[in-house]
Structure 1
Amino acid sequence: MTKLFLPFVILLQLIAFPLTAANQPDKPRLVVFIVIDGLQSEHVMTIWNDLNKGGFKRLYTQGAVCNHAYYPILSTGMAADYASLVTGSTPFYHGIVGNTFYNKATNDTQPCLEDNNYNGIGTSDALSLQPLLASTCTDELKMNTGGKSKVFAIGIHSAETMMLAGHAGDGAVWINNTTPNLATSNYFVAGLPHWADQANMDHWVEDGIKTEWQPLYNISTYFFPAKHPNSTHGFDYTNNSSSMTENIANYKESPFVNTLVTNLALKAMTEEHLGQDDYPDFLGLEYTVQVAGDPSHELASAEKEDMYLRLDNNLADLINQIDSYVGVNHTVIILTGTQGEPHQQQTLQNYNIPSGQFVPVRSMALLNLYLMAIYGQHQWVLGCHDKNIYLDHAAIEQKRISLNEIEQRCANFMLDLQGIQTALTATQIMAANSNGNDEASRMKNSFNKHRSGDVVFTLMPGWVEADNQGHILPIDNDKSSYTPLLFFGDGILPQTINSQSITDLAPTLSWLLQTQAPNANIGLPIMLKRKDEPSESWNHSK
């Protein structure tokens, strides 16, 4: 968004929030913010007839539904998605450009929330939310209530869970990558909550890793075939690697990790007495429908279908317990997903759809040879990360080379390579319009002057990044990323919402909570239709 347009949006928010707050029902006592990694509306519709009434169906039929909420940013990893969800902003402002970013000072990559001023608890990872440069909707809630609102987040991955909790959150709990236990950071004053510590003592994570995965129902009832069929059960998976790190990685993309998150959520809700007073509380949850060994968001296997069906049961259990403990009339449940690649490479090839693999290491070697032919012997290209090319500014300045000139030469060179769709210099990106949903706008929104490269490129449809061995890198290339966005409870009436930017989610939550929007917010609140009086209790029967 341009600098001229941002103050206009802020002015609209300052006008709209006080006027609408006076006419709103009471604040919800509890917000449950659910993000499902890999969630797609089309997947839910495909298996709709097999879902029970209390999970996805309850949210879709009794809530406000936007089937096509779009991400106005390039797909560079889930951390950037989560940061955009909770800030109502984009990497241009909030600074989280990916799961990792290239550190220009050390010429190396680092985790997006790495901070050696803090220590991990149950993990060796040193993390904080200081790299997230904007406030979140939970930060604004904390400030609005003088710290009296309680904010917790439970998830699968560290950065995503921490961003759900926000800078001022009371606690964030996730699964460590190398040992079978729950972990957190001493950035959160409370440390590891007692209920999470008890779960560690009771070996919840370890027991989940040992659980054998077979179909929930008879395999003949599944719409899709098993990716790795088993004649006895349909499919059968066990985590029996000699590497605990590998076992944990597989567990994090299995249905049992969602069961763990659900059980922890119910523990947190009762142990922390969430939603039991007049100060709204917040519980952020990270779920997944991603299956180990498949980085795409494609629904084409019984395994992923089973992930959805089991998660559907988890959601039903969660909603029922919330209804019993707090009441859905006093709770806002928000559900959305992340962006990602819709199809596997093999699927595209099977249907004769153009596709390919782009190998950054080889291309950067060619680019550096090209630059040496012009500017002399030197390693002009320091690195390439998440489709960002980083040049040696010190050498460029010492040789008195025009930065704009060498950037443009790099961009022009990249455009001649097979598989490249777009290549823009940092100067061109900074001058671009950020208000549209075209590729140039998404590049602008995804760019951060402190962490992005000198040249940014995108790939043609169907192309992916790969290493020298042909292994696909976990960076998506989706040209138009949509995900569902649902609001349920607290008097919100069933309704269909037109396509919205995911940056509208945070200001909508702030509107519901009657707080200020996050300080880098660029979205506008969705004016949801709501009842003035609480609705009757929902019938739990299936």
Structure 2
Amino acid sequence: MRNRYLYITLLSILAWHAEAQGQAGTRQVPRLVVNVTVDQLRSDLLDLYAPAFSSREGLQKLLAEGLVFENARYPFADVDRASAISSVVTGTTPFYHTITGNQWIDRQSLRPVSPTPGDMAASTIGDELKRATQGQGKVFAVAPTKEVAMLAAGHTADGTVWNDTPKKGWTAADITDRALRCMTDHALGQDSIADLLLLTYDASSNDRQTYIQLDQEIARLLQQTEAQVGKDQALFLITSTGYTEEKRADLERFNIPAGTFYINRTANLLNMYFGGLWGQGKYVEAHFKNQLYISRQLIDNKRITTNEVLQRAKEFLLQMSGVKAVENHLYEAHTGDLVIELNPGWQIENEDTHEQSPVKTQLAYFPIIIYGSGIMSETIKTPVSIERIAPSIAKAIRIRAPNACKSEPLF
């Protein structure tokens, strides 16, 4: 009897396993993938404001019925909106896709420039969809700013939509309106070839009303997308840009250690220090936020090795108040030769322009949520990287992942 019981149990397990494999192997390719990135979405505020949400058809629906990875992260420092969006759509880090920030210094003009898809050194998930379908799969992006829309869309998108009147900022309702109009006007998800819609919302104000409206608009997006495309034909992926900008006043009010690092003063002091060593000259030819740019022509003329310059600069900078670490990024695209990491709570100020860079903090945790198109509800606490979003989309629509992506899909 015991052997017979074990035999029956084994057959049951094998049958279940075969059925599960069969279901996974025959999962329907979604006609439309909607990839949503919410700038500065925070899990703690999502939990805090959830009781005020008017329905359970938006964010709460996603959390209850989706595949939820609670502990997502960006595997690099100095995350901002542009570097985050670029990392989501390429499945890799700025080291490979080279979009290091919302702006950087152009080496020729020594002036700040904003990124374009032409600056991106890796393919995006939209690019790979275009390649796989010989251009038939449609790719559109909607975002509050031109740079974000274009970066999300990639190199070969059919169209981008952004707010061209910055004085009047877009709300979550504006994003949803334009996303739904884009779906209708371009017949997204209406044939057997997968389409991709990339949306960027803004939750940077961190207030209750912003989260309430975001919840309402996500609910409207879900309902109308499923109505147009079909509930099982749409796949949604939602995540955050993974950082937040802290209010300096809050730090000072509660006696949390904070300070100001003056980047132009630092550049002048470093030039004076180098002048004492090797003679006068503008060794630091430019600075931008927490980055310093060394004049390569000057040090070549003075026959000084770059390694010596960078090492002496690092030793000098580490003695300054607020400096936690200094990294060398010589010859890396779109970044300074020296990148300064400050202590928590410190901000950077340019005394000449009085421009202040807000205190940015990487979030302790934020979610990646996958919903629709046969996805089973589950909550996973194991930490995961946002690099896995692009290959997950690629697997779902059966195309190759972006060419610099080395990560595994999430499902």
Provide TM-score, normalisation by structure 2.
0.90
The 8 Å contact of residues 459 and 477 in structure 1, kept in 2 or not, is answered as no
* 1:457 corresponding residue in structure 2: 340
User: Structure 1 residue aligned with 2:368, among 485, 507, 524?
Assistant: 485
Inter-partner Cα distance in structure 2 for 1:516 and 1:476: 38
* 2:171 corresponding residue in structure 1: 257
- State the one-letter code of the partner of 2:25: N
Inter-partner Cα distance in structure 1 for 2:35 and 2:358: 25
Secondary structure in 2 matching 1:322 = helix
- State the one-letter code of the partner of 1:45: D
- State the one-letter code of the partner of 2:337: D
Residue 426 (structure 1) shift:
3.2
Inter-partner Cα distance in structure 2 for 1:420 and 1:93: 27
Deviation string, structure 1 residues 347-404 (Cα, Å, up to 9, x no partner):
1122211111112111111111111111111111011224221111111011101110
Distance 1:24 1:409, change over 3 A: farther
The 8 Å contact of residues 237 and 370 in structure 2, kept in 1 or not, is answered as yes
Distance 1:376 1:266, change over 3 A: same
* 1:50 corresponding residue in structure 2: 52
Residue 105 (structure 1) shift:
2.1
* 1:161 corresponding residue in structure 2: 149
- State the one-letter code of the partner of 2:182: A
Distance 1:73 1:476, change over 3 A: farther
- Map 1:442-453 to 2 at 5 A: 449-453=332-336
Distance 1:356 1:484, change over 3 A: same
Distance 1:89 1:261, change over 3 A: same
Distance 1:479 1:62, change over 3 A: closer
Inter-partner Cα distance in structure 2 for 1:482 and 1:375: 47
Residue 24 (structure 1) shift:
4.3
- State the one-letter code of the partner of 2:204: Q
Deviation string, structure 1 residues 277-313 (Cα, Å, up to 9, x no partner):
100111111111123xxxxxxx4xxxx2101111211
Deviation string, structure 1 residues 112-168 (Cα, Å, up to 9, x no partner):
22xxxxxxxxxxxxxxx2111100011111111111111111110111111221111
- State the one-letter code of the partner of 1:346: A
What's the C-alpha RMSD, in Å, of the aligned pairs?
2.0
- Map 1:144-183 to 2 at 5 A: 144-176=132-164, 180=165
* 2:114 corresponding residue in structure 1: 111
Secondary structure in 2 matching 1:277 = coil
* 2:204 corresponding residue in structure 1: 290
The 8 Å contact of residues 245 and 358 in structure 2, kept in 1 or not, is answered as no
- Map 1:342-361 to 2 at 5 A: 343-361=246-264
Residue 258 (structure 1) shift:
1.6
- State the one-letter code of the partner of 2:175: V
* 1:511 corresponding residue in structure 2: 395
Deviation string, structure 1 residues 384-443 (Cα, Å, up to 9, x no partner):
22422111111101110111011111111111111111012236xxxxxxxxxxxxxxxx
Inter-partner Cα distance in structure 2 for 1:480 and 1:258: 22
The 8 Å contact of residues 243 and 362 in structure 2, kept in 1 or not, is answered as no
Deviation string, structure 1 residues 431-458 (Cα, Å, up to 9, x no partner):
xxxxxxxxxxxxxxxxx71322222210
User: Structure 2 residue aligned with 1:72, among 54, 75, 81?
Assistant: 75
Distance 1:480 1:265, change over 3 A: closer
The 8 Å contact of residues 386 and 475 in structure 1, kept in 2 or not, is answered as no
* 1:269 corresponding residue in structure 2: 183
User: Structure 2 residue aligned with 1:467, among 327, 347, 350?
Assistant: 350
Residue 337 (structure 1) shift:
1.1
Inter-partner Cα distance in structure 2 for 1:98 and 1:53: 36
The answer to which of 156-165 and 480-489 deviates more is 480-489
Residue 470 (structure 1) shift:
9.5
Structure label with greater radius of gyration: 2
Inter-partner Cα distance in structure 1 for 2:260 and 2:359: 12
Matched, 1:380 2:264: no
Provide TM-score, normalisation by structure 1.
0.69
Residue 526 (structure 1) shift:
1.0
Inter-partner Cα distance in structure 1 for 2:30 and 2:305: 56
Inter-partner Cα distance in structure 2 for 1:63 and 1:27: 17
Inter-partner Cα distance in structure 2 for 1:328 and 1:266: 16
Task: Name stretches of at least 5 consecutive residues in structure 2 with no aligned partner.
Answer: 1-20
* 2:9 corresponding residue in structure 1: none
Inter-partner Cα distance in structure 1 for 2:98 and 2:383: 25
Percent identity, aligned pairs only, is 32
Q: Which has the higher strand share?
A: 2
- State the one-letter code of the partner of 1:495: E
Inter-partner Cα distance in structure 1 for 2:353 and 2:109: 28
The 8 Å contact of residues 75 and 476 in structure 1, kept in 2 or not, is answered as no
* 1:187 corresponding residue in structure 2: none
* 1:63 corresponding residue in structure 2: 66
- State the one-letter code of the partner of 1:384: H
Residue 468 (structure 1) shift:
2.1
- State the one-letter code of the partner of 1:415: L
Secondary structure in 1 matching 2:324 = strand
Distance 1:426 1:287, change over 3 A: closer
Inter-partner Cα distance in structure 2 for 1:335 and 1:76: 18
Residue 101 (structure 1) shift:
1.3
- State the one-letter code of the partner of 1:487: I
Matched, 1:131 2:103: no
Secondary structure in 1 matching 2:34 = strand
The 8 Å contact of residues 75 and 475 in structure 1, kept in 2 or not, is answered as no
* 2:270 corresponding residue in structure 1: 367
The 8 Å contact of residues 383 and 389 in structure 1, kept in 2 or not, is answered as yes
Secondary structure in 2 matching 1:466 = strand
Distance 1:59 1:260, change over 3 A: same
